[in-house]
Amino acid sequence: MSETNETIKPVVGLEIHVELATATKMFCRCRNRFGDPPNTHVCPVCIGMPGVLPVMNRQAVEYAMKVGLALHCTVAGFTKWDRKSYYYPDLPKNYQISQYDLPLSADGFLEVPLPDGTTRKIRVRRAHLEEDAGKNIHDKASHTGVDLNRAGVPLLEIVSEPDMNAVEEVLAYARAMQRLVRWLGVSEANMQMGHMRFEPNINLHITRGGRTFKTPICEVKNLNSFRALERTVAYEIQRQHAEWQANPEGYSIDKVGKENRGYDDEAGVTVFQREKEEAHDYRYFPDPDLAPVLVSDEWRGGLAAQIGELPLARRARYMERYALSFKEADALTQDAPTGDLLDTAVTDGADAKRCANLLLGRGAAIANDRGYSIAEVGVTAGQLAELAKMLSGGEVNATAADKIFVKLAETGGSPRQVAEAEGLLAVSDAGQISAWVDQAIAANPKAVEDVRSGGKSQKKAFGFLMGQVMRLSGGAAAPAEVQRLLQQKLGS
Amino acid sequence: MSKTIDLDLVRHIGKLSRIALSEQEVGTFAAQLAGILEYFGKLQELDTEGVEPMAHAVQLHNVLADDTPGESLTPEQALANAPDRDGDFFKVPKVIGDSQ
Ligand SMILES: [Zn+2]
């Protein structure tokens, strides 16, 4: 490539569909619940019976507004609902209620943390509310089964500008959006439950010999995992480049326009999809059953006030105020409750660094095993603070604290009670430790000699003796006391 | 705005609406739809300069419900009028994928 001096710039925009975690659907009071038996959360409104009257869910509007505000969007003072007409078995009304020309939110941005520690602003064109469709079940050869439990579930469609130029940026943006909606408590954003779906738009701007070539924009629909998104974008970049190389004048946005492709998960490729010419003739018009929504400054302001500190601001605060590393601060700001745990423990007077170590050590390990967030492990801020204080005071050592943390997650209780019950309190009784120190000195004359002679192996030998005392104590001796007595007895 | 209703447009609308139209019906509907449009065309004579587009016929707004679960139908009730079923699923001709 270098001999032709060619540069390739991928240009990617992303549509993200987020299912909102309301208790009920968008226009009826059927439950919004995943995984229940088919057609158990359905009513005349959501299965499209004639003569019904849909009523908008206030919570869905507020959740959508919160996302808009957190994305620095303009939240419209006036918004309305439109019908988007098309036929598919999972859409019982034969139209989807959506927002066409007056979306709830527009013109915002998301600050996206990149793997290298920098952040990038990705612009958000619009975020509008619409209803989800039902689910088609394809396991029968002769027909399709339709479950309408999902029909009418509130869906927020967030459309970015084509501001991403690499696979990593697309993934980082998608992950940042997942973190944001979880942070705001508006969606569980669980990929397995289909709470988030992606539709990337991808093309390449290729510069060669002073000319810029643009490949056709490809839209890939309905990706439901980060892996599928990553593979799709990576595949499209190389596929479009290869097609362009084979036909630089013909494979262009001017000649081909826009293409629709589907993702084949097993093969890890995208395949061309022929669209019916009338597919995008949706004949939008205002829904006569639904009244428009006026958003007052007061309503908007009240929701904005509930948003509070966002993930990146909190991460910066942890690095500055708690002196945590980027990695630590980032791990503790993946969701709001985990950071809240840390903040509350620190307010209780515990040392931030010790709390962070506990959360990111055993806490993260348990969370990882069970697929939880750290906060969901079940250790409370009060327990965390007490345990961190016991560590700081030398009442327990790190190994014991680890065991106590596991116990707290399993059975609860207070750290002190657990430590006492399990015999994990550090022994700082000088008489007892003194006996262990004497025993270690008697059993290791060579190490003792090395310490006393003060040579270059002194430090290592001292550490060895420390370890021997700790072993004799079964890990229970308070390290500070062991060190003090060893130094005293060896005269070092 | 003064889009004329020709036969092709009626065929197109029929296709979008999944309605099979005979050639005779296409002709009938083209004439009828053109008549309706012409009648509504009178509205074009009004001066709408400075008038906000109307999104709704009644002056209501913010008709919002609390997010509290209510009664749903049983699967039996929901499927009672369905032309065909497969267990508790609605049964339809074979399709591929989801619409979303
Ligand atoms: Zn319903």
Residues contacting residue A377 through CB under 8 Å, at least 6 positions apart: A363, A366, A367, A370, A409
Q: What phi and psi, each to the nearest 5 degrees, are found at residue A276?
A: -65, 145
**Encoded tokens for A181:** 């909606």
Identity of the residue in B69, B73, B79 whose CB atom sits nearest the CB atom of A31: B69
CA dihedral A83, A124, A260, A99 (to 10 degrees): 0
CATH level 2 (architecture), domain B7-45: Orthogonal Bundle (1.10)
Nearest partner of A108 among A150, A143, A75, judged by Cα: A75
Nearest CB neighbour to B55, from listed A80, A87, A88: A80
- The beta strands (E) that lie in B1-100 are given as 64-65, 85-86, 89-93
Name residue A18's beta-bridge partners.
Answer: A156, A196
- Tell me which residue of B2, B11, B99 sits closest to A132, measured CA to CA: B99
Q: Provide φ and ψ at A107, rounded to 5°.
A: 55, 65
- As a whole number of angstroms, the distance between CA A39 and CA A148 comes to 6
- A45 CA distance to ligand 1 middle (Å): 5
Nearest chain A CA: its distance from B45 CA (Å): 22
Place of tokens 């669209």: A275
Residue of A144, A284, A294 for testing the chain B interface, max B β-carbons within 10 Å: A144
**Pick from A56, A133, A278: CB nearest B64:** A56
Asked if the Cβ–Cβ distance from A143 to B93 is below 8 Å, we say: yes
Beta-carbon neighbour count of residue A149 at 10 Å?
24
Instruction: State the Cα–Cα distance between residues B13 and A397, nearest whole angstrom.
Output: 77
User: Domain residue spans in chain B?
Assistant: 7-45
- Over its length of 492 residues, how does chain A's per-residue pLDDT go in tens digits? 445 689 999 999 999 999 999 999 999 999 999 999 999 999 999 999 999 999 999 999 999 999 999 999 999 999 999 999 988 899 999 999 999 999 999 999 999 988 888 899 999 999 999 999 999 988 888 899 999 999 999 999 999 999 999 999 999 999 999 999 999 999 999 999 999 999 999 999 999 988 999 999 999 998 999 999 999 999 999 999 999 999 999 999 998 888 899 998 888 899 888 766 555 788 899 999 999 999 999 999 999 999 989 999 999 999 999 999 999 999 999 889 999 999 999 999 999 999 999 999 999 999 989 888 899 999 999 999 999 999 998 888 888 899 999 999 998 899 999 998 888 888 877 888 899 999 999 999 999 999 988 888 888 999 999 999 988 888 788 888 889 999 999 886
Q: Which domains does chain A carry?
A: 14-198+278-297 (no CATH), 309-421 (no CATH), 430-490 (1.10.10.410)
Q: Which residues are placed with Cβ below 5 angstroms of ligand 1, an ion? A: A 28, 30, 43, 45-46
Q: What's chain A's length in residues?
A: 492
Contact A145 B91 (CB under 8 A): yes
Distances A131 to A20, A56, A289, A292 between C-alpha atoms, Å: 10, 11, 15, 16
Residue B85 is classified by DSSP as E
DSSP category for residue B92? E
pTM comes to 0.84
Supply A200's token pair. Answer: 């990337």
| A278/B12 CB distance under 8 A | yes
For A89, the closest chain B residue by CA position comes to B92
What are the chain B neighbours of A133 within 8 Å (beta carbons)?
Answer: 98-100
Alpha carbon A120 to its chain's center: 17
CB contact under 8 A, B92 and A144: yes
Q: Which of A124, A75, A80 is nearest to A102 (CA)?
A: A80
d(CA A262, CA A269): 8
Q: Where does residue A226 rank: exposed (0-12), middle (13-18), buried (19+ CB within 10 A)?
A: middle
Q: Do B97 and A136 touch (CB under 8 A)?
A: yes
Residue A264: C-alpha distances to residues A217, A231, A283 (Å): 19, 10, 31
B57 vs A283: CB contact, 8 Å cut-off?
no
Residues 6+ apart with CB under 8 A from A252: A213, A214, A215, A216, A244
